[in-house]
Amino acid sequence: MKLFWDATKKLLPSCFSVIRKIRKKHTNEKMTMKQVTDVLKILKYINSLEPLPNTDLFPTSLYPWVTFQGDEPNCRVLETLNDAVSQGASDWLNHILENNKRPDETELARLQNLIQIIQLVRSDLQKAIEFYDKLFQETVNFPYAKSLYVFYQAKISTMCEPEVKAICKSVKKLNYSGYNSLTNGDINVDPLTEGTSLFELYLAIQRFVMLGVGLCPADSDTFHIKNFHQWFHGGVAQWLDIAVYKALQRIEKAVELDKLVHVDNTVKYSSSAVDTLTIFYQIKVFWEQLNWPNVEGSYTFIAKIIDDICRCCVFYADKMSEKVDGMGEVQDIYEKKFEVTNEWCLAINNIDYVRETLEPFTRDLGMNEVVQKMCELKSPVEAQRCQHTLENVIANAIDTVRNKIIELLEKVVSKMEPSMKRLLIEGAELCNQDSNSVHRLMMYVDNNLATLHRELNEENFNRTLEIVWNMLSDTLGEIIQTNLDKRRPPSFFDNLRKTLNLMLGSFKNPADCDNCDALKRTEQILRINGLETADLIHEVYLQLAEQFKKVKDSPYGEISVKAKFEDNTLTVEVMNARNLMAMDSNGSCDAFVRVHLLPEHKFSGIDKPKTKTHNKTQFPLFDETFVLKLSPEQRQLEDGLILFSVKDKDLLGYNNQYIGEALLHFSDIEDTTQPMSCLPQIHLQLSRPTDLTMSSDGINALEHRQGDKQAKEFLRKFKQRMG
């Protein structure tokens, strides 16, 4: 046996040499495949044997590339095979790096060099899959191609990530200042050429990652290269900027060539509106070519595209406004005034036509596919939140363009006469004036509104009237109410609350605004609905604590406790209970108290201690003390609560009956070093949630979250505790 193992040790180096130098063999030669097969059979046989004690098959002197770190002899054949595969790949990678050096150190040269290296690596992997992987797996049950991929992905990540991040960081923002302008800080650098190479590298890595998904389906999500798209964040943003830059050029040219006549008799818009939509769909084609991964965060670029399209819409609106500016100015013997013209109406209709197509266009970007991928990777709840976030971005983009239309309408109105402007801004005050000048002004307004009504579509004409009657308040109020009815996710309501605060801030004196109280009420509803479910549940408990404070005499009884903080330690003493509601047929109860710290998600690692059960008494004397160790963050929670839940234990303990509960706020607990015996008793009336609690804003918000399991489960248990 000793001779056999000595001979084996001499044979193995040549076997592993074949594995390491496998790339030097020609796969189309029969002897090559036979040699590899024989080597694998030898390794399989040796792996099935039990070596003699103290046999070291792979000494570091012969195998310096082995990663084995143990003190005992190394007889691990398959682990050494994996090391040999990795070492062979490393040798080959060093070879191609040496033979494919960069011609210079420019960013463009660095990008093209990385592309070439990745292509060669993919070629090696394809060769491994086609010729060797099945052989390795069938002979020694070793995933040859997977092992190679694991090695290569780490090396490619190490090579590419710092380079890509550095190049993306140096990318200069494009600024559009006219049709023939392209300013990026250096006229000798073509941003499109560099961006193209960056995009080619992105596609090369993307194909490499997709290859890894097929080879390593169970492990691919753990690879660092899986999140390669994050390296390109700045680069992709530049591509989107270039796409927008080209779009702005084309839009400017389309407006310049527009004759401001109807495309045909059936529509109320002109040629530039149609051209602008065509330009938008060219951006959509670019997004499809980009094929950004449908993973968490991919919607960020969809949101940017939506924002960029909104920017193009605003740019188009500005150009249309510039084109018609000056039209309609007339001078008669009495005064210089502005008359609404067909060109002005067409300009407004053009912008609105573009706005109407914004939402269906953004949905064509693949938003639903992104949401579906989020659902597969995480959960339906997370996917729903992602979808609502994107819908929020779309809604905000549409609102931005709508506001641009309103700006143009305001511009039309502002040109009619100073008195008209005052009527629009101070509508109620001017309407209350009874004078000939106001009467003449209203006649002038009626004449121009007749033109607007005839030439504008109905929606735009109604917008004109909304401007007269304080459009800002009405429009935002409608948006707020509409989205409350739609039960948007917390992120949407929080963002809408900020928008609402901006709107309130725009009023010089909110106290004089008729809608001020309603807006404040809306802000409170938005604040509640903007909380995440766990925080919202705690909000309900805080509301419940305020409600319980008002209870003076409870039919459920009273509980006496002591509590103190000492540094980060919370000590709670449950002393006794009195006049507990009888839960048993004998007119008594078998009571115990459970202590909870709220909010639960902030105290997930803290025990929920329980007292012993005191049988057949409505006046149990518990006298039990619990010491709870808190983290500094838990101790500093401003709205922490202690929930004392009193229950009646049934015979077997499977169906305990609920008696009542009490809440103690952290702010009502002393921070002291005094012993518990010196502290005063705290008497808490036991209570239960009531219909008043169920009608609170917090409960209503939870009721709206029908797809949220946490909210649904909380409401189910909460309703069971109602009095």
Range of the domain at 273: 249-469
Model pLDDT for residues 18-72, shown as the tens digit of each residue: 888 888 777 666 787 888 888 889 888 988 888 888 888 888 888 888 887 777 8
- Please state the rounded mean pLDDT for residues 355-362: 80
> Residue 177: pLDDT band by 50, 70, 90 thresholds?
low
- For residues 563 and 616, membership in a common domain is answered with yes
Q: Which residues share a beta bridge with 661? A: 645, 687
Q: Which of 698, 663, 701 is nearest to 682 (CA)?
A: 663
Is residue 593 assigned to a domain? yes
The confidence score (pLDDT) of residue 188 equals: 41
Contact 339, 328 (CB under 8 A): yes
Among 469, 500, 520, which residue terminates a domain?
469
The confidence score (pLDDT) of residue 307 equals: 77
- For residues 258 and 362, membership in a common domain is answered with yes
Higher pLDDT, 191 or 403: 403
Q: Which of 622, 644, 642, 641 is nearest to 688 (CA)?
A: 644
> Could you give the 3-state DSSP secondary structure of residue 597?
strand
Is residue 27 assigned to a domain? yes
**Angle of the 233-257 helix axis to the 299-324 helix axis, nearest 10:** 20
- For residues 419 and 274, membership in a common domain is answered with yes
> Residue 579: pLDDT band by 50, 70, 90 thresholds?
very high
Q: What is the mean pLDDT of the chain?
A: 79
> Residue 681: pLDDT band by 50, 70, 90 thresholds?
very high
- For residues 482 and 334, membership in a common domain is answered with no
Q: Which residues share a beta bridge with 595? A: 644
Is residue 712 assigned to a domain? no
- For residues 378 and 415, membership in a common domain is answered with yes
The confidence score (pLDDT) of residue 495 equals: 63
Q: Which residues contact 96 (CB under 8 A, 6 or more apart)?
A: 117, 120
Q: Which residues share a beta bridge with 592? A: 647
> Residue 504: pLDDT band by 50, 70, 90 thresholds?
very low
- Please state the rounded mean pLDDT for residues 372-391: 76
pTM: 0.48
- For residues 76 and 27, membership in a common domain is answered with yes
> Residue 185: pLDDT band by 50, 70, 90 thresholds?
very low
Is residue 223 assigned to a domain? no
Give the C-alpha distances (Å, rounded to integers) separating 633 from 59, 238, 637: 52, 42, 7
Domain tally, the chain? 4
Is residue 239 assigned to a domain? no
- For residues 311 and 460, membership in a common domain is answered with yes
The DSSP symbol for 457 reads -
The confidence score (pLDDT) of residue 473 equals: 40
Q: What is the 3-state secondary structure (H, E, C) of 383-423?
A: HHHHHHHHHHHHHHHHHHHHHHHHHHHHHHHHCCCHHHHHH
Domain of residue 631, CATH code: 2.60.40.150
Among 98, 131, 147, which residue terminates a domain?
98
Is residue 465 assigned to a domain? yes
Q: Which of 264, 248, 245 is nearest to 256 (CA)?
A: 248
Q: Which residues contact 654 (CB under 8 A, 6 or more apart)?
A: none
Is residue 58 assigned to a domain? yes
- For residues 277 and 422, membership in a common domain is answered with yes
- For residues 287 and 431, membership in a common domain is answered with yes
Q: Which residues share a beta bridge with 560? A: 576, 683
| DSSP labels, 490-520 | HHHHHHHHHHHHHHHHHSS-GGG-TTHHHHH
> Could you give the 3-state DSSP secondary structure of residue 75?
coil
Give the C-alpha distances (Å, rounded to integers) separating 703 from 392, 417, 533, 696, 712: 21, 52, 11, 11, 8
- For residues 497 and 569, membership in a common domain is answered with no
Is residue 302 assigned to a domain? yes
Higher pLDDT, 366 or 343: 343
Length of the chain: 723
Contact 459, 355 (CB under 8 A): no
The confidence score (pLDDT) of residue 477 equals: 41
The pLDDT of residue 413 is above 60: yes
- For residues 485 and 356, membership in a common domain is answered with no
Contact 275, 311 (CB under 8 A): no
The confidence score (pLDDT) of residue 173 equals: 66
Q: Which of 343, 317, 326, 341 is nearest to 407 (CA)?
A: 317
- For residues 559 and 464, membership in a common domain is answered with no
Alpha-carbon Rg of the chain, whole angstroms? 37
Q: Retrieve residue 380's tokens.
A: 């339906």
